Amino acid sequence: MSLYKHKNPLSQRISESVRVLSKYPAHVPVVVDCDPKLNKLKKNKFLVPRDVSASYLFQSIRKQLTCEQSTAIFIFCDDSLLCPTEMMTNVYDKYLDGKRHLKSGEEQDKFLYLMVQGENTFGIF
């Protein structure tokens, strides 16, 4: 479970996502959790334009991480590796479609939850 989900109740997350989406309809609200092996991100919430590829988000996250250049970062969404060439609107729509199997009466927030993991590309020395 996302640390953000754990710290904030569902009602607060829903109201925040509704507010953000109404104010910025051309953006995707994203919450990013980081692997404990990597340094913490300065912020964990991002507003990403819908019309850019996921590599834009990769660059934004990479700038905030103070890790070695030899560390490759991988971003996962629902246990699937996020493709850097995929458009953010497609990623977001796929996420929402994947969450439609909720029980009747159960609500969801409209955030896209991602997990960043790092791996040393040159092995361990």
Q: At what angle do helices 54-64 and 88-98 cross, to 10 degrees?
A: 90
Residue 9 forms part of a structural domain: yes
Query: What's the pLDDT band for 30 if we cut at 50, 70, 90?
Result: very high
CATH number at residue 94: 3.10.20.90
pTM for this predicted structure:
0.84
Residues belonging to the chain: 125
Residue 95 forms part of a structural domain: yes
Q: Is the pLDDT of residue 101 over 60?
A: no
- Residues 119, 98: Cα–Cα separation, whole Å: 27
Residue 125 forms part of a structural domain: no
Q: Position 36: which residue type?
A: P
Under DSSP, the state recorded for 125 is -
Mean pLDDT of the chain: 84
Token pair listed for 17: 């996502």
Provide the domain count of the chain.
1
Contacts with 56 (C-beta within 8 Å, 6 or more apart), sequence order? 48, 49, 88
Answer yes or no: are the C-beta atoms of 54 and 94 closer than 8 Å. no
| Greater pLDDT, 30 or 65 | 30
| Greater pLDDT, 102 or 44 | 44
